[in-house]
């Protein structure tokens, strides 16, 4: 998938997920598209700790993560 930002590997590593390009592509393919009414943090595939990280990143306005999380949100809500 050409739309993958190389920095996604850092986000996936932070989430405790495999962070190589193939694994990221597989994650996105497996979990998209999300229902338009489902917030990224409410997606059923996150663990409690992953969900907490995503929420905390927004609550703390963590600049290093917000842009990547927003990009992942857009990709997961996009039609394949």
Domains defined along the chain, listed by start: 8-77 (1.10.10.1130)
Q: Is the confidence at residue 47, as pLDDT, over 50? A: yes
Residue 5 has pLDDT above 80, yes or no: no
Contacts 24+ apart (CB under 8 A), 57-66: 65/11, 65/14
Give the CA distances from residue 35 to residues 56, 64, 75, in Å, rounded to whole numbers and listed in that order: 23, 26, 12
Asked if residue 2 has pLDDT above 50, the reply is: no
Which residue has better confidence, 26 or 61? 26
Return the percentage of the chain with pLDDT > 90, whole number.
Answer: 79
């Amino acid at each position: 998938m050409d739309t993958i930002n190389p920095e996604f590997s850092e986000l996936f590593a932070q989430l405790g997920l495999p962070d190589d390009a193939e694994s990221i592509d597989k994650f996105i393919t497996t979990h998209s598209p999300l229902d338009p009414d489902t917030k990224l943090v409410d997606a059923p595939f996150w663990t409690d700790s992953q969900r907490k990280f995503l929420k905390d990143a927004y609550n703390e306005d963590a600049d290093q993560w917000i842009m990547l999380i927003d990009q992942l949100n857009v990709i997961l809500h996009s039609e394949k």
